[in-house]
Amino acid sequence: MLTEVFSASVYGIDAKPVTVETDVNNGLPGMELVGLLSGEVKEARERVRIAIKNSGYDFPGKKITVNISPASLRKTGTHYDLAIIIGILMNTGDIKDRPLADICVFGEVSFNGNVNKVKGVLSAVIACKEKGLSTVIVPAANFREASLIEGMRVVPVNTIKDVVDFLNDGLIPDVKHESEADASAPKETLDFSDVHGQFMAKRAAQICAAGMHNLLLAGPPGAGKSMISRRIPTIMPPLDYEEQIELTRIYSVAGKLCENGLITERPFRDPHHSVSRGALIGGGNNPMPGEITFANNGILFLDEFPEFKRDTIEVLRQPLEDGKIVINRVFGSITYPARFTLVAAMNRCPCGFFPDRNKCRCMPGEIARYVSKISQPLLDRIDLKVDIPAINFEDFGNRIKSESSEIMRNRVLKARQMQKARYKDSDTKYNSRLTSRETEEFCVIPKASKEKIKDLFNTCDFSARAYYRILKTSRTIADLEGFEAIQEKHVNEALMFRLTDLAGTC
């Protein structure tokens, strides 16, 4: 007898519906799985056989053939187990023969018949809803994740018996969810009021947060570069629902989603400088997202920037421009979103104390070689460069309290509201994401400022990219101050951040 059960194949952060066809007929006993399957899918043979027996059901001593179609689509993962089991138990009569045209199934099984958590359920549920299905059967551990999509009936199961009871009698198991340890755990509270002095860096942080502009902080050890960087998410606006769903899908397909379900906070990723290129941008035999995708709509913080391998950070060039990363494999291409904001921190020389010649003994050539580890094309993509001085002792005794993150965040929120109103008829959300045509329309600068930039083109070898990025940064600065039209002072401030000298470069 031939049975059909719907499931889905996760591809990047998207999913495509598939059909699990199970045929049980007379012949040499055994199970064969076909349909362009990875090794982990084929291993379902033993998982399914033992799980059925240990759940108290009979495994048929016949020839079982399972086809996961379409055969042209490569399938990976372990979430097909439950769909295969349903097909087999329908053939044995343990599950009533009934049409399952409105049901989609995901779940991995263990030898004792338990249904285990799987990756990519959120994307799979979205794909099923688009196909017109109304019900999904998922592992209990994936219940909150699957329930994020409105209009879908979600049936959580812990065991194979739970699935059989639901399909036969409509019984929905009473599933007890594990406590949300991550939600109750105390979190470190970060606030800009803890940062003494460094007003220029904090100003740049606000511009960075308001327009999602890339930022580079350079200065001696202990000046507060990392401290400031880690507080930038505290002044960023909350994710909108569309961004939350996209980010949750990313963490879901990577198996990094906790029991809390929906991700509501902007990510802050800070990989060590020993990170590999694959871990940074994604990849592998079965391609998975990298740090730039986990930082989508948030911050990718690269501390000790020149210490990263040059060939590793050079791969950031294209994602910084396109907002995505394309991973090509023999079986096809996978595209992951990568609309992150780059925040980097670095010393000015190998010892870290340049230009303080009382402490720094580095030769000019050493300093130039150290800074040149970061290529000019990569620096060209960074809108804000700030030279942070060492902290003075007087800053600690200053009774003037620094602005809190809440005050700074309110200022950023007002700037974002202006952007939202301005780009209401566009897909653009932030100033840094403006296209060239949109930049010409929305970032008109005074004639005197345009002449100043023209003069700097030759002295600092400005590129066309640099020109447009200066206009976008000026637009954000104007928004922070509540100006609809960009003033000359706004362009001057954008130029100041652009022209910060790093060993003689603009």
Which DSSP string do the residues of 12-28 spell out, in sequence order? TTEEEEEEEEEEEESSS
Q: Are residues 337 and 408 in the same domain?
A: yes
> For residue 344, is it within any domain?
yes
Q: Are residues 259 and 395 in the same domain?
A: yes
Of 361, 391, 413, which closes a domain? 413
Q: Domain of 33: which CATH number?
A: 3.30.230.10
- pLDDT digits 0-9 by tens, 457-499: 878 778 889 999 999 999 999 999 999 999 999 999 999 999 8
Q: Are residues 227 and 151 in the same domain?
A: no
Name the strand (E) or helix (H) holding 52: helix 44-54
- pLDDT digits 0-9 by tens, 267-297: 999 999 999 999 999 988 778 899 999 999 9
Query: Quick check: helix, strand or coil at residue 188?
Result: coil
Of 395, 413, 431, which closes a domain? 413
Q: Are residues 283 and 390 in the same domain?
A: yes
Q: Are residues 382 and 268 in the same domain?
A: yes
Q: Which domain holds residue 211?
A: 192-413
Tokens standing for residue 62: 């016949």
> For residue 207, is it within any domain?
yes
What pLDDT is stored for residue 181 in this prediction?
A: 41
- pLDDT digits 0-9 by tens, 101-136: 899 999 999 999 999 999 999 999 999 999 999 999
Vertex 407: Cα angle to 401 and 412 (nearest 5): 135
The neighbouring-strand residues paired with 181 are: none
The residues, any chain, with a CB within 8 Å of residue 472's CB and separated by 6 or more, are 211, 213, 383, 431, 432, 434, 439, 443
Q: Are residues 218 and 142 in the same domain?
A: no
**Cβ(109)–Cβ(115) below 8 Å:** yes
Residue 79's nearest CA partner among 102, 53, 105 is 105
Query: Quick check: helix, strand or coil at residue 91?
Result: helix
Number of domains in the chain: 2
- pLDDT digits 0-9 by tens, 328-356: 887 778 899 999 999 999 998 888 888 77
Q: Are residues 144 and 18 in the same domain?
A: yes
For strands 14-25 and 63-69, give the pairing: antiparallel
Q: Are residues 133 and 282 in the same domain?
A: no
* Averaged pLDDT for residues 88-96: 92
Q: Could you give the C-alpha distances from 353 to 222, 302, 388, 395, 502, in angstroms and in order? A: 10, 20, 11, 19, 14
> For residue 463, is it within any domain?
no
Q: Are residues 150 and 205 in the same domain?
A: no
Name the strand (E) or helix (H) holding 333: strand 332-337
Q: Are residues 217 and 345 in the same domain?
A: yes
Query: Hunting for tokens 């019984």 — which residue is that?
Result: 171
Q: Domain of 304: which CATH number?
A: 3.40.50.300
Query: Quick check: helix, strand or coil at residue 119?
Result: coil
Of 370, 397, 413, which closes a domain? 413
**Cβ(126)–Cβ(149) below 8 Å:** yes
Q: Are residues 351 and 223 in the same domain?
A: yes
